[in-house]
Chains A and B, each alone.
Chain A
Amino acid sequence: MSKAVAAEHDYIRLSEFPTMESTTLMSDKANINKNNEDGLNFKATELRLGLPGSDSPDRVVDTRFSTLKSSCPVSGAKRVFSDAINGSSKWVFSSTTTGDVGSGSGPVKDGKSTPFPKPAVPVSEKKSSATAPASKAQVVGWPPIRSFRKNTMATSQTHKQGGDCNNNNSETEEAKSGPEACLYVKVSMEGAPYLRKIDLKTYKSYVELSSALEKMFSCFTIGQFGSHGGYGRDGLNESRLTDLLRGSEYVVTYEDKDTDWMLVGDVPWEMFMGSCKRLRIMKSSEAIGLAPRVMEKCRSRN
């Protein structure tokens, strides 16, 4: 067996990379593989196919790539002749043995691990598949399967039939739409040919909301409903409301839990987020009628 090992080593044939060796690549930016200091000890960050905690037999490592770890997403590649020594490991998603596949005459396969150095923060995976369980391969982009396919297959077990997404608190587990609960509300505007939808959770204040709406509907807006600099956090006072109505062409209103239409800005932001079901940008002339009701609500709350 050792002969076979030696023969295989020939293929590695370490060649000269003079410029590489003298490189110091440590950087506080590199947030992977602190094992650089050890140089060769990859065990802690070994890429494993087995469940966490499973043992990995010792592997032959190709140290040629060790100096380059910190700058490459998949920091070099270790040549592993695990097949020769310990039987073939499977690079696939399964952590179990795959005896039936008939991987040839190699010795017993444990199929548990292949020590691949863990890649650096997979920054390119921002929109990739849902978090893979520990047993899955973690090299960026390998095997070469499109994200769409990966996502589709990953959710084939957990897939919920896409329900009616018109409700405001649509939650989704798929990477595409974001992992956390969103608060989508419809935004319609008088005269605009179609609705928009926004996620209220992405805004922290009326100011932000207002400028976002302004951007979204700027092609339709004649007035400057945002020019009042947003709506005060402390609630509405009468003078401000009348400023609003007199000064701009449009106002933003919302339908709250009680199916009342209110002017945006009269309650603290958090309360607004909790009660807003949808938004409508309407002409100020139409909104005048809302004012008394708004005042009434304010009074009844106080």
Chain B
Amino acid sequence: MGLPLPSKVLEHILSFIDSNEDRNSVSLVCKSWFDTERRTRKRVFVGNCYSVSPVTVSRRFPKMRSLTLKGKPHFADYNLVPDGWGGYAWPWIEVLAKKNPLLEEIRLKRMVITDECLEMIAASFKEFKALVLVSCEGFTTDGIAAIAATCRNLEVLELRECIVEDLGGDWLSYFPESLTSLVSLDFSCLDSEVKLSDLERLVSRSPNLKSLKLNRAVTLEGLESLLRRAPQLTDLGTGSFSAEFEPEMFSKLSKAFAECKQLKSLSGLWDVIPEYLPALYSVCPGLTSLNLSYATVRMPDLVGILRRCWKLQKLWVMDLIEDKGLQTVAMRCKDLRELRVFPSEPDLDDVSVALTEEGLVTVSRSCRKLESILYFCVQFTNAALVTISRYRPNIKCFRLCVIEPFAPDHITREPLDEGFRAIVEGCKDLRRLSVSGLLTDKAFEYIGKHAKKVRMLSIAFAGDSDLMLHHLLSGCEGLKKLEIRDCPFGDSALLEHAAKLETMRSLWMSSCFVSFGACKVLSQKLPKLNVEVIDEMYPPESRPENSPVERIYIYRTLAGPRLDMPEFVWTIHKNPEVGVSNLAIK
């Protein structure tokens, strides 16, 4: 048998293992490995903040330096989760402040964080280095000011698509003159203008600054001035890229960009005026990531940029790129890995947007490394889907949003069942799938059978009956997150396959026909899960058993029913006689 591995040796070995998935496996080997692993884990990831209590996490990983938390379910992005549902950062920060004062990094996604919380972070973690808030809300620029003012070693401050109550641009001036450690600053989601001189000074005294993402209020002139001070940037988000065209400004801007020889990623570009685009030409050949999804530039103005970005790996763009623009991408961007095409708003009602399924087909055919797709389009065909799957069996993420619900194949009028069949059969490594268009239960039979590695599946306005859910829950071996809206299935499939839910992180259902009674039964069957009924129309006391509920959110948890539920959220009490208990606690 041999002697057990000394823990010091094991610790050393483990220091080479970063992946949490691997570390989770390590901790299952035996008690001593569990113990050594937990004492050495530095980066902790919690995919659902309600799946485990902060105290448990804090206790298990005493050396934690970085915590990532996700709160609200994904469909909260599309306003399907009512305000006040939950996802509060406070309980976590409160515990960590006391027990893990050496924490350096906090990354939150879809959580509610208040100014008080931010102040507590600033005050409690002396070595605090990085704050990344993605799609968060609940705070004001005052909270940001507190972080800026107090965190002496701050390196990263990123606010990505947060809903911030913007009380003005003063927050920037709270960075002390002594702060020179900044590596990444992203305030692109804020509205107010910051003082350019403060920003210039901050940039000038931050030699390690690699990533800077400005907000829309920063002008072209401001941008030029900042670029001159930070030619070492690798990641730039411009402000508003628009002004009256002036040749002098243009040449200054071009020069400034030309100096940024390490620029790899470019974003922002709000309100961009085509005349200024050529100022970017010098950086295009070096770009691996380009986000034009806020740039209201139309064809053919986009071509100049696209054809120069031959190293591009990631492209986010609006449908204004049209099929033609995607042809250019197909020809030039041979290294493309990820493509996202978003729908544009109707600023220009008189011009139609010529983006069809052909655009995506063209890119799929030519870009061999393409593996991640998000595509909004008004129409699609089975043939296109089949072609895509044939050329790109390496696709890992396929999210198609045919904008009109129930839209069939626009040529054959058939449902898109066969198209998605080709996708799941052909793309064997598919991890994430979003379906749309007209789909019958058959489509889900195919998905259930073939999408073995799909971890996340999003469905809207699809299917005919309970069969659809039956197919999904009896197949899809790798399924971890399922989110469904507006589909016509009822209770039976859900109840029949309740055990499957224990193997998943979460299930979201809204506007389907699942009854309140079924939710109660589920909750009895699955004591390890929280079955949340989120319904603003009916308090449970007055709701008949067989009435459908608005939304259900079911997730695995070790922490039991949560204690911070608002009025419209109920977890069904285990004891059916007692009925539903509303456990909201202020």
Bound complex: CA of A30 vs CA of B174, how far in Å? 49
User: Closest A-chain residue to B350, C-beta based?
Assistant: A96
- Residue of chain A at shortest CB distance from B547: A23
A143-155 interface mask toward B, CB cutoff 8 Å, 1 = contact, 0 = none? 1111111001110
Q: State the Cβ distance, B536 to closest chain A Cβ, in Å.
A: 5
Within residues 474 to 489 of chain B, which ones have a CB less than 8 A from any CB in chain A?
485-486, 488
The answer for the CA separation of A123 and B488 in the assembled complex, in Å, is 22
In the bound complex, how far is the Cα of B346 from the Cα of A135, in angstroms? 10
Contacting pair B378 A162 (CB below 8 A) = no
A124 CB–B CB distance under 8 Å? yes
B166 x A128 contact (CB < 8 A): no
Instruction: Find out whether the CB atom of B378 lies under 8 angstroms from the CB atom of A101.
Output: yes
- B557-570 vs A: 1/0 string, CB under 8 Å? 00000000000000
B170: chain A residues at CB < 8 Å are: 166, 195
Contacts known (A146-B135, A162-B217, A176-B191); A71 close to B548, Cβ less than 8 A: yes
| A96 adjacent to B353 (CB under 8 Å) | no
Decide yes or no whether B538 CB sits under 8 A from chain A.
yes
Segment of B327-335, B408-416, B523-531 in the binding face: B408-416
Q: Is the CB of B513 within 8 A of A20?
A: yes
Complex partner residue of B343 from A19, A75, A79, A145, CB under 8 angstroms: A145
Interface code B353-393, partner A: CB below 8 Å = 1, 0 otherwise? 11110000000000000000000101100000000000000
Bound-complex Cα distance A27 to B415 (A): 37
Q: Are A144 and B460 in contact (CB under 8 A)?
A: yes
Interface presence of A141 (CB below 8 A): yes
**Given A11-B464, A157-B347: A184 and B408 within 8 A (CB)?**
no
Hey, which chain A residues are within 8 Å of B538, CB to CB?
Answer: 27, 29, 71
The interface-forming segment of A85-93, A277-285, A290-298 is A85-93
Bound state CA distance, A175 and B137, in angstroms? 13
**Which residues of A in the span 80-133 have a Cβ within 8 Å of any Cβ on B?**
80-81, 83-84, 88-96, 98-106, 114, 116, 120, 122-128
Given A166-B168, A184-B167, A148-B135 contact (CB < 8 Å): yes
Say if the beta carbon of B240 comes within 8 Å of chain A. Answer: yes
Q: Contact check: which of A20, A127, A142, A165 meets B169 at CB < 8 Å?
A: A165
In angstroms, Cα B81 to Cα A120, docked, is 14
Checking A72, A102, A148 against B161 with a beta-carbon cut-off of 8 angstroms, the contacting residue is: A148
The size class of the interface chain A forms with chain B is 35 or more
CA distance A149 to B164 in the complex (A): 14
Bound complex: CA A146 to CA B134 (Å): 12
A76 lies within 8 A of B217 (CB): no
Are A165 and B490 also in contact (CB < 8 A) when A146-B78, A156-B347, A159-B271 are? no
Indicate whether B125 reaches chain A with its CB closer than 8 angstroms: no
Contacts of B167 in A (CB 8 A): 165, 184, 197
Q: Which residue of B lies closest to A129 (CB)?
A: B79
Tell me whether A83 and B407 are in contact in the complex, defined as CB-CB below 8 angstroms, given that A101-B353, A123-B82, A162-B216 are known contacts: yes
B413 touches A84 (CB 8 A): yes
Known: A88-B379, A176-B166. A72 touches B511 (CB 8 A): yes
The 10 tightest CB contacts between A and B, nearest first, are A141-B78, A91-B404, A104-B410, A19-B546, A165-B168, A162-B217, A153-B345, A15-B465, A100-B352, A148-B161
Chain A to chain B contacts (Cβ below 8 Å), 6 pairs: A15-B488, A73-B510, A88-B378, A101-B355, A140-B80, A156-B294
- Residues of A at the B interface (CB closer than 8 Å) are 4, 8, 11-13, 15, 17, 19-20, 22-23, 25, 27, 29-30, 64-65, 68, 70-77, 79-81, 83-84, 88-96, 98-106, 114, 116, 120, 122-128, 135, 139-149, 152-154, 156-157, 159, 161-166, 170, 172, 174, 176-177, 184, 193-197
The residues of B with any CB-CB pair to A shorter than 8 Å are: 75, 77-83, 135, 137, 140, 142, 145-146, 149-150, 161-170, 174, 189, 191-193, 215-217, 219, 240, 270-271, 293-294, 296, 342-347, 349-350, 352-356, 376, 378-379, 401, 403-408, 410-411, 413, 415, 438, 440, 458, 460-461, 464-466, 485-486, 488, 490-491, 510-511, 513, 515, 517, 535-538, 544, 546-550
